[in-house]
Amino acid sequence: MAMNVLEKPTVDLPQATIGFCGDSGDGMQLVGTEFANVSAGLGNDISTLPDFPAEIRAPAGTLAGVSGFQLQFSRNEIYTPGDKLNALVAMNPAALKKYVPDLEPGGILIANRDAFTEGDLRKAGETENPLDNNSLSAYRLISVPMTTLTREAVAGNGLSTREADRCKNFFALGLVYWLYERSPDQTLRWIKDKFAKKASLQAANIAALKAGFNYGETTELLPVHYRIGKADLPPGTYRKITGNAAVALGLVTAAGRAGKALFYAGYPITPASDILHALAELRHYAVTTVQAEDEIAAIAMALGASFGGSIGVTATSGPGICLKSEGIGLGVMTELPCVIVDVQRGGPSTGLPTKTEQADLLQALFGRNGECPLAIVAPNSPGDCFTMAMEAVRIAVRFMTPVILLSDGYLANGAEPWMIPDVNSLPPISVKHPTEPNGGYNGTAHFLPYLRDERLVRPWAIPGTPGLEHRIGGLEKEDVTGNVNYEPENHEHMVRTRAQKISNIANEIPPLEVAGPTEGDLLVIGWGGTYGSIRTAVQKAQGRGLRVAQAHLRYLNPMPKNTGDVLRRYKRVLVPELNGGQLCLLLRAAFLVDAVSFSKVQGKPFLVNELEARIDEIVKS
Amino acid sequence: MTAIATLPTLTPKDLTSDQEVRWCPGCGDYSILAQMKKALAPLNFPREKTVFISGIGCSSRFPYYMNTYGFHTIHGRAPAFATGLKVSRPDLQVWVITGDGDGLSIGGNHLLHALRRNVELKIVLFNNEIYGLTKGQYSPTSRAGTKTKSSPGGSVESPLRPLSLALGAEATFVARTMDVDIKHLSETLKRAAEHKGSAFVEVYQNCVIFNDGVFDYVADKGTRADNALYLEHGKPLVFGKARDKGIRLNPSDLTVEVVPVKDGKTDGLLVHNESAPEPTLAGLLSRMVHPAMPECFGVLRAVRHPTFDEQVKQQHEQAVKSRGQGKLGQLFASEDVWTVNGK
């Protein structure tokens, strides 16, 4: 199709933040994802924030059923999905009500006026039509009869009214494509592919997309459109990646680099189920997945597989970590390599299954009976989920320990461009299983399952190896021999030894890096998915001349050896967290610094402006 | 005649670990340990490929006493550990040692699913109808009225019948034996060892300290013949000291009843069939409880269905066949990729 985007003037923008929102059945996730894909493919840096309810299909038109998709796309490197929206597409009154507070004053508000009937307004708790009563005068309101126009556009394809209406998301997408000068060609190809076996739907969706695009071109309500140019990303081959997809890839890659089979057992739980789905697709790799009967069975199966010499992995969210704690404790006590992924979500208890939070740090550190230390790592972006998943496997096999990887709902479902690595340039992971007895007593050669090396790591002898028959278990054991032992001094020795082994991991992790001045007025330090917001806020503060630096912990236990030194170089330390102040508590306890917590527990990421405001407050005080 | 090379054979001593056994004197577990070694040794399956996985309880100390690989896990979860091990290492022979509390109370769920999946595991449940290690509470198999520290008024619960549960979970091998009939015990364990699929064996085991004598009606040689019905595949169901009692199905209400057997005439009696596709007969046998009926010993069911582990393996092989062995380099580009060139 001839795309003539030059008829109306184009305004260059460095970035734009847009949102699509509607009822759960309106296809907002689909068009948001498609827009993100196309933008990434055009060379923008992108960052996404899907936002959907926990229920599968809440009553149509209600606030409970609203589903939204926000993304920022830019010609610069960006690290957040944006604070305020520049443009919002709202498919019904409930969606508009929920998301219009996120729209900047003067922002473009595209509403489907056909969905603002009396019935729809009532379901959204509105007594008047906001499109008509001037309540939206702060915005540039573009009130479009999308349902009508979509029905007209797809007529002649033999669709029922319901099917025709389901195409209106593509109308909206086409309109926004025009508005931001994106060629619809990639999406047209996608539609052809996805609906290859349904000619009528294929034709209808294409027609709807084109109709939306043409509407943009012709409507007087949109006198200009916008261009966001290519970002200056480092050269390489890229794909778009979400955190969950990256975790799956990282696990498979690490196991592959170690020459090991990956055994994954998991129980479906929002927002971690996609990891199970992704790995279940890889039956042609040395990857086995089992959907366990419950969370506890999943950790048990993973450890059983690790005992047998595979890399045992399981993923879950907060409630699942609670259930797994006894099992994880057994992994610590028997010193087996295992990775437990926690895709954190709002808690406590069932909490907010589809909202993000990072409140499981203390659970990961302390949520087991007794002194039960293990390693904890946390990625800081969707792409970093790949790197830290590999790290988790490396540490697990190198130190014979369970490792908890703390991800979150925002990283899991958020997307960004990711440079595809050259597999052969990734560090190999070396695994050695003993084949000979390593000791003897009573005059015969024996295998001593807890004879440790200089790092205090025990050997990983696997069933099937003749001569190394031994038994491991959850009871306290004598060091070296592994025989069940309740002696007081042995127990204390074992507790200290297990703790020291985990501390020794600090010898093999990179030091904590600082972005900004190496000393100054304020260090802003965080962990996990808050990286992007903190980075952007600190950069802006630096741009205003403030002596602020950023550090971000990706290794939470043990922390890098220089963490205390770094903290002490700044007058103040601010710890923004999507929890009640968990890292702050740890930093204060471990390093005796007067770190200050900035806590937000709303099921949403930090806004850059709220971090900036807090930074300013502290520096000026 | 040419000299025949003899393979080294395992002895029960080879299967004995160096750990001091800590069960109470007189505990039925000693017998099970001894018969397990006697059953396994002649099968000559490599010791290094044999693994015993247990939960928590007196039963679950078992792995420490076998000179094989072993994993003493957590209460109730052994079948899940064992499933992870067996699926990832189909070459190993994996035993699960559990008890009535470990396997049917906290562990009921995992036992159910391991059996349902037909993972090739040999699950031996030491049923002493009591919690021994925690000192004498009643268990899910304790008879109604059992007085213990946690049920001083007498248990008001109906006990589970482990064999009925196993059959309900679609187990492909279900058997009962007892600690004191050592020949029967070792033969039953041998059959479990050889079964291809999930094998469930209930062992009546005497807890000499907390529930002594609960199985005397079958443990005592004097009363055993009248209270125990030994099943043999293809043979009519006959019991009694004089072999003068048989089991018949009453067709009007589908109950089993005891009828006299005169002069060895077994017409009209139920004939045992281990390999019946439907476990209907096995189910009836599993519900026979003393004193109303004799209790059944032997293999109630032994059928061959595809196992979980072999099907998982087949799906892998199928996937490699149709998609080619996966290569790491191909893994990343499953979505649209684009290239950014340097300036």
Q: Which of A39, A185, A301 to mutate to test the interface with B (most CBs of B within 10 A)?
A: A301
Give the chain A residue nearest B94 (alpha carbons).
A463
Q: Which of A261, A464, A473 has the CB atom closest to B48's CB atom?
A: A464
Residues B81, A484: C-beta atoms closer than 8 Å: no
- The residue of chain B nearest to residue A262, with distances taken between CA atoms, is B88
Predicted pLDDT at A242? 97
Q: Do A421 and B17 touch (CB under 8 A)?
A: no
> Is residue B2 scored above 70 in pLDDT?
no
Position A559 scores a pLDDT of 98
A240/B113 CB distance under 8 A:
no
Q: Examine the pLDDT at A471 and tell me if it is beyond 80.
A: yes
The average pLDDT across A318-325 equals 98
What digits encode the pLDDT tens for the residues A347-358? 999 999 999 999
User: What are the chain A neighbours of B332 within 8 Å (beta carbons)?
Assistant: 239, 249, 420-421
All residues of chain B having their beta carbon less than 8 Å from the beta carbon of residue A282 are 326, 331
Task: Give the CA distances from residue A218 to residues A9, A131, A262, A383, A618, in Å, rounded to whole numbers and listed in that order.
Answer: 13, 21, 55, 40, 50
- Indicate the pLDDT class of residue A237, thresholds 50, 70 and 90: very high
Contacts with B91 from chain A: Cβ below 8 Å: 464
- Give B177→chain A minimum CA distance, Å: 27
CATH for B28-223+273-311 is 3.40.50.970
Nearest to A552 by CA among A569, A574, A572: A574
Evaluate whether B76 touches B83 at the Cβ level (below 8 Å): no
To the nearest 10 degrees (0 to 180), the angle between helices A199-218 and A146-154 is: 130
Q: Any idea what DSSP says for residue A484?
A: B
Q: Do the Cβ atoms of B84 and A265 come within 8 Å? A: yes
- B7 pLDDT band, cuts 50/70/90, is low
Mean predicted confidence (pLDDT) in A13-38 = 96
Write out pLDDT tens, residues B199-250: 999 999 999 999 999 999 999 999 999 999 999 999 999 999 999 999 999 9
| Smallest Cα distance from A443 to chain B, Å | 13
Helices (H), A424-509: 488-504
Reported as half-sphere exposure (CB side, CA atoms, 13 A), residue A170 has a value of 25
Judge if the upstream peptide bond of residue A268 is cis by omega within 30 degrees of 0: no
> CA–CA separation, A549 vs A558, rounded Å?
22
Residue in chain B closest to A279 (alpha carbons) equals B331
> Which amino acid is present at B223?
T
φ, ψ for residue B185 (rounded to 5)? -60, -50
Q: Once rounded to an integer, what is the mean pLDDT over residues A537-560?
A: 98
- Per-residue pLDDT band for B162 (boundaries 50, 70, 90) equals very high
Contact flag B74-A304 (C-beta cutoff 8 Å): no
What's residue A133's pLDDT?
94
By the 8 A CB rule, do A404 and A318 touch?
no
- Is the distance from CB of B286 to CB of B300 less than 8 angstroms? yes
Q: Is residue A1 very low, low, confident or very high in pLDDT (cuts 50, 70, 90)?
A: very low
Query: B165-193: per-residue pLDDT in tens?
Result: 999 999 999 999 999 999 999 999 999 99
Interchain contact, A307 vs B48, CB within 8 Å? no
Angstroms from B60 CA to nearest CA on chain A: 10
What does the alpha-carbon distance between residue A93 and residue A111 come to, in Å, rounded to a whole number? 9
Instruction: Please list every residue in chain A whose beta carbon sits closer than 8 Å to the beta carbon of residue B112.
Output: 293
- Chain B hits for A241, CB-CB cut-off 8 Å, are 335
Q: Which of B19, B73, B312 sits opposite A330 (nearest CB)?
A: B73
Contact B67 A469 (CB under 8 A): yes
Residue of A233, A285, A323, A483 to mutate, interface with B, max B Cβ within 10 Å: A285
Question: Would you state the structure tokens that stand for residue B57, as one six-digit string?
Answer: 């309880």
C-alpha distance from A256 to closest chain B C-alpha (Å): 7
**Which positions in chain B touch A240 (Cβ < 8 Å)?**
335-336
Alpha helices, H only, A505-581: 531-543, 563-568
pLDDT on residue A139: 97
d(CA A357, CA A410): 8
Residue of A44, A283, A333, A387 to mutate when probing chain B, most B C-beta within 10 A? A283
Q: Strands A548-553 and B228-230, how do they pair? A: unpaired
pLDDT score recorded for residue B146? 97
What tens digit of pLDDT does each residue of B256-272 get?
Answer: 999 999 999 999 999 99
Contact A407, A530 (CB under 8 A): no
Flag if A421 and B332 touch (Cβ within 8 Å). Answer: yes
Best of B45, B85, B117 to disrupt the A interface (most A CBs within 10 Å) is B85
Whether residue B77 and residue A308 make contact (CB cut-off 8 A), yes or no, is: no
H and E: helices and strands count for chain B: 11, 12
B217 three-class SS: helix
**Which of B329, B333, B340 minimises the CB distance to A235?**
B340
Q: Looking at CA atoms only, how far is residue A460 from chain B in angstroms?
A: 13
Residues in chain A, how many? 621
Closest by Cβ to B63, choosing from A238, A420, A471: A471
Q: Please write the tens of the pLDDT for every residue from A128-159.
A: 999 999 999 999 999 999 999 999 999 999 99
Mean pLDDT of chain A: 96
pLDDT attached to residue A6: 53
CB-defined contacts A:B, below 8 A = 201
Contact call for residues B49 and B93 (beta carbons, < 8 A): yes
Contact between chains at A296 and B80 (C-beta distance less than 8 A): yes
- Look at residue A62 in the predicted model and tell me its pLDDT: 92
On chain A, the residues whose CB falls within 8 A of the CB of B69 are 463, 469-471
Give CA separation, A21 vs A25, A39, A49, A62, A435, in Å.
11, 18, 12, 13, 60
pLDDT score of A420 more than 80:
yes
pLDDT in tens, B47-68: 999 999 999 999 999 999 999 9
Six-digit token pair at B27?
A: 């505990």
State mean pLDDT over A376-390.
98
Closest by alpha carbon to B123, among B75, B67, B73, B171? B171
Percent of chain A with pLDDT over 90: 95
Q: Where are the domains of chain B?
A: 28-223+273-311, 236-271
What is the predicted pLDDT for the residue at A398?
98
Contact assignment for A239 to B63 by CB distance below 8 Å:
no
Farthest-apart Cα atoms in chain B, separation: 102
User: Per the CB < 8 Å rule, is B87 touching A288?
Assistant: yes
Pick A463's closest partner by Cβ from B51, B323, B336. B51
pLDDT in tens, B13-43: 999 999 999 999 999 999 999 999 999 999 9
**In contact, A523 and A572? CB cutoff 8 Å:** yes
What does the pLDDT average to over B90-109?
98
Question: How far away is chain A from the Cα of B285, in angstroms, using its nearest Cα?
Answer: 29
Instruction: Tell me which chain B residues have a C-beta less than 8 angstroms from the C-beta of A420.
Output: 332-333, 337
Q: How confident is the model at residue B3 (pLDDT cuts 50, 70, 90)?
A: low
Phi and psi based region of residue A169 (left: phi greater than 0; alpha: psi -120 to 50; beta: remaining): alpha
Query: A238: part of which helix (H) or strand (E)?
Result: strand A236-242
Structure tokens at A486: 């309740």
Confidence of residue A444 (pLDDT cuts 50, 70, 90): confident
CA A537 to chain B, closest CA, distance in angstroms equals 27
Mean pLDDT to the nearest integer, A160-187: 96
pLDDT of residue A528: 98
Please calculate the CA angle A559-A562-A566 and round it to the nearest 5 degrees.
110
Nearest CB neighbour to B74, from listed A37, A288, A474? A474
The answer to whether the CB atoms of A288 and B109 lie below 8 A apart is: no
Strands A338-344 and A402-408, bridge-based pairing: parallel
Domain annotation for chain A: domains and CATH numbers? 10-227 (3.40.920.10), 239-425 (3.40.50.970), 439-507 (no CATH), 514-620 (3.40.50.920)
Contact A471 B335 (CB under 8 A): no
Residues of B in contact with A463 (CB under 8 A): 48-49, 51, 69, 85, 89, 92
What mean pLDDT do residues A150-174 have?
96
Write out the DSSP string of B15-79: TB-SSPP-SPTT-HHHHHHHHHHHHHGGGT--GGGEEEEE-SSSGGGGGGGBSSEEEE--TT-HH
Residues in chain B with CB shorter than 8 Å from the CB of A483 are 19
The one-letter amino acid at A234 = P
| Cα distance between residue A465 and residue A215, in whole Å | 71
Q: From CA A182, how far away is CA A175, in angstroms rounded?
A: 10
CB contact under 8 A, B69 and A40: no
Query: In whole angstroms, what is the distance from residue A338 CA to residue A298 CA?
Result: 12
Q: What is the pLDDT of residue B215?
A: 98
Are B71 and A296 within 8 A, CB to CB?
Answer: no
Query: Quick check: A442 pLDDT over 80?
Result: no
**A233, A290, A469 ranked by CB distance to B47: nearest:** A469
Considering only alpha carbons, which residue of chain A is nearest residue B326?
Answer: A285
Nearest to B215 by CA among B144, B187, B223: B223
> What tokens appear for A615 in the block?
């930074």
- How near does any CA of chain B get to the CA of A442, in Å? 10
Collapsing DSSP to helix, strand or coil, A45 comes out as strand
Give the Å distances, CA to CA, from A509 to A251, A395, A504.
19, 9, 10
Which residue is it, tokens 């806004």? A607
Determine if the pTM surpasses 0.90: yes
Asked if the model's pLDDT at residue A588 lies above 50, the reply is: yes
- As a whole number of angstroms, the distance between CA B126 and CA B30 comes to 12
The residues pairing with B51 across neighbouring beta strands, listed in sequence order, are B69, B94
β-pair partners for A225: A10
Closest residue in A to B343 (Cα–Cα): A235
Give me the pLDDT at residue B343, please.
53
| Cα four-point dihedral sign A423, A424, A428, A433 | positive
Can you give the pLDDT at residue A69?
Answer: 97
- The candidate with the shortest Cα–Cα distance to A87, out of A108, A66, A72, is A108
